[in-house]
Structure 1
């Protein structure tokens, strides 16, 4: 695994945790949180597989 792929994994995890934290304090609705997580995973997977 390359450094870029490790970076994608780390950044994806950070974004997911941040979205969940924003949801827990009421800054995001559930739909927005789910959308952010799904889009993050789709983009990260796409980039991961093309590295």
Structure 2
């Protein structure tokens, strides 16, 4: 995978995980995700899928 693509994807994962932390319980419930699952995903390092 080219470096620029990997960097873009890693940044997107980081951004999405920060957004998960900020979502309300209602938003998460609408998505079918528990607070526990959201925090678990948000705790992953940006380089992990």
Describe the superposition over 1:3-45 as per-residue Cα deviations: whole angstroms up to 9, x where unpaired: 00000110000000001100xx33324x71526x38xxxxx73
Structure having the higher helix fraction is 1
Q: How far apart, in 1, do the equivalents of 2:9 and 2:21 lie? A: 18
What do you get for the CA RMSD once the two structures are aligned? 3.1
Structure 1 residue runs without a partner (length 5+): 39-43, 46-51
Name the counterpart of 2:12.
11
CA distance in 1, matches of 2:17, 2:8: 14
Gaps of 5+ in 2: 43-47
Runs of 4+ that moved beyond 3 A: none
TM-score (norm 1): 0.49
- Partners of 1:28 and 1:4 in 2: CA distance: 29
